[in-house]
Structure 1
Amino acid sequence: MSNYVIQADRQLLDALRAHYQDALSDRLPAGALFAVKRPDVAITAYRSGKVLFQGKAAEQEAGKWIGKAAAPSGKPKERETPAPTESKLGTLSAIGSDEVGTGDYFGPIVVAAAYVDRAHLDRVAALGVKDSKQLTDEAIKRIAPAIMETAPYAVTVLDNAEYNRWQRSGMPQTKMKALLHNRTLAKLVDAIAPAELEAIIIDQFLERDAYFRYLADETRIIRERVHCLPKAESVHVAVAAASIIARCVFLEEMERLSRAIGFPLPKGAGVIVDEAAARIIRERGEEALAGCAKLHFANTKKALDIAKRQK
């Protein structure tokens, strides 16, 4: 596939958008102003002013604009820039994304994304940032506000009622997580624009190809420079920061639900959770679980059995 790049100023970007108005795409990669999709050429214009032409007609289409470009670069790209190594990723200006709540019977799923640029890597790390699973709830509540003041972030909360609706429709939890990560990333990418974003790192719950297959029907997919890595919190401080923010929001949501129910709701999915769910059934009825629990977990049946025995 041929690839041509030109550098455009605001006037030229506006002219390009107007010229290709009939072929604008709803799916934008990270950092893009607009994208064009035609059978023989794909064009992506970035906030940096770079305009990338790809496809059989890339040279022909780019040629129409090179003479008008601010700083043209008509040479074809001989090869794609190789993906950075994990050690290199840790030094880049990057967004990290992580989720919590997927294994807890009570409470929502929370996805958070945080952006840490090169200039703030050490500053964020100095706050005591590490994987939220290694921190106590008290430490999470202490560290998270400092991170939120230092690093741009975005959060998406899938409450229990909506979770149960998605689950009843046949959606697996892995797809829920993919949708939530993509939507959270989109919010943060927009919020930090026009910052130069060098990488997006998701704490891996799926292989990258499977992750994007789940997003096929989304109107906007954040795709460019996305890496799905296991134990990503050890790769880039932004992922660890996101995990702490997500955990803090989850704890706040659990406290809110506990106040609404009338007693503290336990985390996890063990025996103590079964007992708490049975208490809710006895005091408020089985239907009350829909607003605070993930109903398809085995805990629901166990709680119903306990509640029957305790009548």
Structure 2
Amino acid sequence: MQETITKVCSVSTIKKMKETYQSQLVKTPPYAVFQAKKSGVTITAYESGKVVFQGVDARDETNKWSGEIKEKKESATTKNSPLPKDFDTWSVVGSDEVGNGSYLGPVVVCATYVEHKHMALLKELGVKDSKMLTDKDIRRIAKEIIHVIPYKRLTVTPEKYNDIQPRYNVNRMKVALHNQAIYLLLKEIAPIKPEGILIDQFTPEANYRKYLKQEQHPVTSPLYFTTKGEQYHLSVAAASIICRAEFLEELDKASSELGFTVPSGAGAASDMAAAKILKQGGLSLLNKYAKLHFANTKKAQAIFNR
């Protein structure tokens, strides 16, 4: 049976491995120190210190290095996970959204499918909680991972958001978007079926499922929910990165169109930017760039009317 085992090794151990597998070395993949192929197993050592053994003899080969390999300690995140055991190794569809709390800019929702076989490469590319990454890193990583994994991204412009918002409260809108992204992605990867679907939780599961009943193509199973989902599976982390990169691109586009920097968030800087937009073209122009039901609209109008 095919098996994949990942271990953490020191620089000296990886050097020793490379010397041991010298006659079996093959072309080195990106972000790797070496890759070797033996009968029944492929060994890939990455710059991060991770060594991946893949194949029917993966466990036997790993055991040969048992005296050299450091055992990975179980993290508090793993111990306290609300998800099934080893969920982080499953092949999973994960979804996340960006922009919902920002007055200016769109709402972007993305679903990705991350198979177990892609996890080592995604980690090497830098996929992790987007809150731990700079905007520059997010843009770079997003450009790379969209060529590695299947994904479906939906972008709701402020103008579209303002059209929908009176009929949909925030949670219902987000349920509709997450469900649509997941549904379209599942159609794209069919007949493959993920072992799980993880949604970065923004409302209680019962509430999510209540709104789900109103959707034309509800995806009801196998759904899992947890807050900080990017810490529990790479699929949510990847989705978050793709969302954030698109959100940043849209802010850049808006900045270019308006002639000044359009900020994210919902603070004083956003109030000032909105007041400038009002000065340029009134509420009809602001409708193109801002979520009008936010309290920032009244604040911007007060600044404009001073």
Equivalent in 235, 243, 265 of residue 240 of structure 2: 243
Alignment of 1:46-125 (within 5 A): 85-125=83-123
Secondary structure (helix, strand or coil) at the match of 1:264 reads coil
Q: 2:163 aligns with which of 162, 165, 181?
A: 165
Structure 1 position 251, deviation (Å): 0.9
Q: In structure 2, which of residues 197, 206, 211 is the aligned counterpart of residue 209 of structure 1?
A: 206
Does the 8 Å CA contact 1:97/1:113 hold for their aligned counterparts? yes
Structure 2 residue matching 1:251: 3-state secondary structure: helix
Give the one of 280, 285, 290 matched to 1:283. Answer: 280
CA RMSD of superposed structures (Å): 1.3
What amino acid maps onto 2:103 in structure 1? Y
Matching of residue 187 in structure 1 with residue 175 in structure 2 = no
Number of equivalenced pairs: 225
Q: What's the secondary structure of 1:285's corresponding residue?
A: helix
Structure 1 residue 86 displacement after superposition:
4.0
Counterpart secondary structure, 2:95: strand
Provide the C-alpha distance between the structure 2 equivalents of 1:125 and 1:226, rounded to a whole number of angstroms. Answer: 24
Asked if 2 retains the 8 angstrom alpha-carbon contact of 1:87 and 1:235, the reply is no
The aligned residue for residue 148 of structure 1 is 146
Equivalent position amino acid for 2:174 in 1: K
In 2, Cα distance between equivalents of 1:205 and 1:221: 18
> 1:247-266 counterparts in 2 under 5 A?
247-266=244-263
From 225, 229, 236, the counterpart of 2:226: 229
Structural mapping, 1:15-26, within 5 Å? none
Hey, what does 1:72 align to over in structure 2? none
Shift of 1:85: 3.6
CA distance in 2 between partners of 1:123 and 1:240 (Å): 14
What does residue range 2-13 of structure 1 map to in structure 2 within 5 Å? none
CA distance in 1 between partners of 2:84 and 2:258 (Å): 44
Q: Which runs of 4+ in 1 moved over 4 A?
A: none
Hey, what does 1:80 align to over in structure 2? Answer: none
Cα-to-partner distance string for 1:85-140 (whole Å, 9 max, x where unaligned):
44421111101100000110001100011111111111112211111122111111
Per-residue deviation, 1:308: 0.6
- The equivalent of 2:194 in structure 1 is 197
Q: Give the whole-Å Cα distance in 1 for the aligned partners of 2:83 and 2:272.
A: 47
2:58 is matched with which residue? none
Aligned to 1:15: none
Corresponding position: 1:270 with 2:283: no
Supply the distance in 2 between the matched residues of 1:147 and 1:93 (Cα, whole angstroms).
16
Contact 2:186 2:193 in 1 (8 A): no
How far apart are the structure 2 equivalents of 1:126 and 1:225? 28
CA distance in 1, matches of 2:262, 2:85: 40
2:299 pairs, out of 271, 291, 302, with 302
Q: CA deviation at 1:194?
A: 1.5
Letter in 2 for 1:246: C
The letter for the 2-side match of 1:119 is: K
Following the alignment from structure 2 to structure 1, what is the Cα–Cα distance between the partners of residues 85 and 145? 23
1:19-52 per-residue CA deviation (whole Å, 9 max, x = no partner) reads xxxxxxxxxxxxxxxxxxxxxxxxxxxxxxxxxx
Point out where structure 2 has 5 or more consecutive residues left out of the alignment.
Answer: 1-81
